[in-house]
Amino acid sequence: MTMSSTKAASGADGPRRTCLWDNTSSVLVGDYLFARSFQLMVETGSLRVLDILANASATIAEGEVLQLTAAADLATTEEIYIKVVRGKTAALFSAAMEVGGEIAGQDAAIKQALFDYGDALGISFQIVDDLLDYGGTKAIGKNIGDDFRERKLTLPVIRAVAAADGDERAFWERTIQKGRQQDGDLDHAIALLHRHGTLESTRQDAIAWAAKAKDALGVIPDHALKTMLVDLADYVVARLT
């Protein structure tokens, strides 16, 4: 995790920035938050809650490792991408939803519905986040091109690579596989995504996963909280408009 803050200082060359928190401090705060999370987990007195969250923690770590192994690998498939997303993002969403049902004493069908909702919502959220890298704004905290510069194989890029001709394949090999990027490459990458329609097809996938999340709530009785969950799924994809 990164928890940093800066303070301004003045010198002969004008204002400069110095780091208030170093890496050691950040790691220690991370350790504290990790320990605090276990304190909160045991407060429920439920071994099942501990089991859900422990499994989710392991799954998230596995997802992050899989993402590292797939980084800059043009052989990455859509199947691997979904596996990464399900591990590093959706696992947290589904665990949070399932724990709520467990603490509330709901039956197995309701808890499974909540899990399925969280899983689908998490996948939709991550797909939207990846799309915003090629059309986001600073207003929503997403700068265009971050994933491209970090050579991440996200869904629109995976699809563009699969549809690439010889010249396009060479471009992706240079910029993503080899990391030799230069001025104008991001614009060209975005143009290729538009050429093959991968931004729109990925957008449709995000919408479909959000719809799947809402469908999972069908077995849950009408309630204000259910309405909020439906609205949340709509909000996730509304970020694309």
- Which pTM was predicted? 0.83
Block residue for tokens 């399900």: 86
Rg, Å, the chain Cα set: 21
* DSSP-assigned letters across all residues of 77-144: -HHHHHHHHIIIIIHHHHHHHHHHHHHTT--HHHHHHHHHHHHHHHHHHHHHHHHHTTT--GGGT--T
* DSSP-assigned letters across all residues of 141-198: T--TTHHHHTT---HHHHHHHHT--HHHHHHHIIIIIS----TTHHHHHHHHHHHTTH
192-209 in b/e burial notation, b at 16+ Cβ within 10 A?
bbeebebbeebbebbbeb
Question: pLDDT tens per residue, the chain (241 residues)?
Answer: 343 444 444 444 444 445 567 778 888 888 888 788 778 878 877 889 889 988 998 999 999 999 888 888 999 999 999 999 999 999 999 999 999 999 999 999 999 999 999 999 999 999 999 999 998 654 456 678 999 999 999 999 999 999 999 999 999 999 999 999 999 999 999 999 999 999 999 999 999 999 999 999 999 999 999 999 999 999 999 988 7
